[in-house]
Amino acid sequence: MNSTSTTVGILITILLLVLPAPALATVVNSSPQEFTVKHTLQVSGSASAAYQTFTAQIGSWWDPAHSYSGQASNLSLDARANGCLCEKLTANGSVTHMIVIFANPGQLLRMTGGLGPLQSMAVTGVMTVTFTTIPAGTRVEITYAVGGQPSQGLDKLAPAVDQVLGTQWARFTRFVDTGKP
């Protein structure tokens, strides 16, 4: 092993020790007709505050690269039954990303819809977000279950969806803890 690779190895080890632990993420199941991804993260503050940030400030922490308009500030989430995770587009256009089907502030948010490219596929997606008070703050668990036609090869999409959602939840965690996504 040369000195350059040794130095890189030491730097990686140091970064792993000083950076906060990433959210626990996994593809729970995967087949051609369905997949489920689950992410568990921890944020500072109360469950009520985390819920409020997740819903009322989604345009502040969502990654604009994963929006149709390219501007996260165009996103809004009306956290009530039949409320919309929506996005404003130019020329009075709009996108419904998900519809709220269950809202219990500070505890649970459940929405249905296909995110991103899933929207144009014959699939149903249900995202459940739970907020649980723990001694160090709040544990947030996000489960996104998607099902549809076997010909869609949903098992091939699961890792990409898991990765994109993981990016969103990392931004949410940073925003709650630091005020910056």
CATH number at residue 108: 3.30.530.20
Amino acid at 19: L
The size of the chain, in residues, is 181
Those residues with Cβ within 8 angstroms of residue 143's Cβ, 6 or more apart along the chain or in another chain? 28, 36, 37, 38, 39, 127, 128
Cα 19 from Cα 90, distance rounded (Å): 39
Is residue 13 domain-resident?
no
The DSSP bridge partners found for residue 77 are 85
Is residue 71 domain-resident?
yes
Is residue 7 domain-resident?
no
Q: Write down the pLDDT at residue 152.
A: 73
| Tally of domains in the chain | 1
Is residue 12 domain-resident?
no
Spell out, as residue ranges, where the chain has pLDDT lower than 70.
1-23, 150
Sheet holding 94-104, edge to edge: 24-31, 34-43, 137-148, 123-134, 108-112, 94-104, 84-88, 75-77
Is residue 133 domain-resident?
yes
Q: Write down the pLDDT at residue 30.
A: 95
Those residues with Cβ within 8 angstroms of residue 43's Cβ, 6 or more apart along the chain or in another chain? 50, 137, 138, 140, 172, 173, 176, 177
Q: Write down the pLDDT at residue 24.
A: 76
Residue found by looking up tokens 């899933």 in the block: 118
Q: Write down the pLDDT at residue 25.
A: 79
Is residue 65 domain-resident?
yes
Query: For residue 156, how far is the Cα from the chain centroid?
Result: 19
3 state DSSP class of 153: coil
Residue 129 belongs to domain spanning: 22-178
Is residue 2 domain-resident?
no
Is residue 123 domain-resident?
yes
Q: Write down the pLDDT at residue 93.
A: 98
